[in-house]
Amino acid sequence: MPKIYAGSSGWAYSSWKPDFYPARLASSKFLSYYATRLNSVEVNYTFRRFPTEKLLKGWIDATPSGFKFAIKAHQSITHLKRLRGAQELTAKLLLSLQPLEKAGKLGPVLFQLPPFLKCDIVLLTNFLAGLPRNLRVAFEFRDISWFTDEVFAALRKRNAALCHAESEIIQTPRIQTANFLYLRLRKDAYSAKSIAEYIKAMEGDDHRQEVFVYFKHEETPEGALRAEALLAAINAGSASKDVITDAP
């Protein structure tokens, strides 16, 4: 069975008190507390800012060995350049992430493409060719034109994951293109049955080395609590829908 990493997209929410964070917990302690209950987080901060070494050191020091940070690529790469001529910016991002890599805490880098970007296989292939081979990457396509066999083949050639993004608007085909899986579960509510189905799918594929699962964050802690319940079910060795409570 692959290693499961589960968490939320972000952690810095005082509105998660007291259902997730203790009522008196200082905001400076949020990440270290989060890491006692979950083993990964998807970082949205890097979509708008390149992280500093000082910032990353704080994240590294606040989390235990084995904790993983999945990084959302900067918007200048995905939304402004739209992958075209973005080699220098991508190199800048990857250079900034070296402290996480050296600490063994760098998870996949997620390239979330804008919904207005239509499929361009040449653009994708050229961008993939410029990425370091040892870097785990995932791509979230938000226009259905990208869901083609040619795109899936290009991702497989590079061992890049097709991000399985679930929302009320679009649902990614459940096709595996890498030796790890990246799930973004973005709907407002999830039933116990739907989470159990994901667990069963994870348990049933011995070729996946790791699975990264991130729930919607927003201003309430339901996403973090769902991730915690998912880890509890996995650790209990059960995909039973009775293990996880229904979302409100």
Q: What is the mean pLDDT of each run of 10 residues along the chain (248 residues)?
A: 88 96 98 98 97 98 98 98 97 98 98 97 98 96 97 97 86 89 82 69 65 86 91 71 39
101 conformational bin, left if phi > 0, alpha if psi -120 to 50, beta if neither: alpha
Alpha carbon of residue 111 to chain centroid? 10
Give residue 65's pLDDT.
97
The alpha carbon torsion through 119, 198, 224, 160 (nearest 10 deg) reads -40
Domain limits of the chain?
3-243
Is the Cβ–Cβ distance between 90 and 102 less than 8 Å? no
Residue 104 burial by CB count (10 A; 0-12/13-18/19+): exposed, middle or buried? exposed
Q: How far is the C-alpha of 179 from the C-alpha of 160, rounded, in Å? A: 8
| Model confidence, pTM | 0.92
**Length, in residues, of the chain:** 248
> 3-243: which CATH architecture?
Alpha-Beta Barrel (3.20)
Give residue 170's pLDDT.
83
Give residue 246's pLDDT.
39
Give residue 42's pLDDT.
97
Give residue 240's pLDDT.
43
SS3 166: strand
What secondary structure letter does DSSP report for 179? S
Residue 216 is which amino acid? Answer: K
Q: How far is the C-alpha of 76 from the C-alpha of 111, rounded, in Å? A: 11
Give residue 163's pLDDT.
96
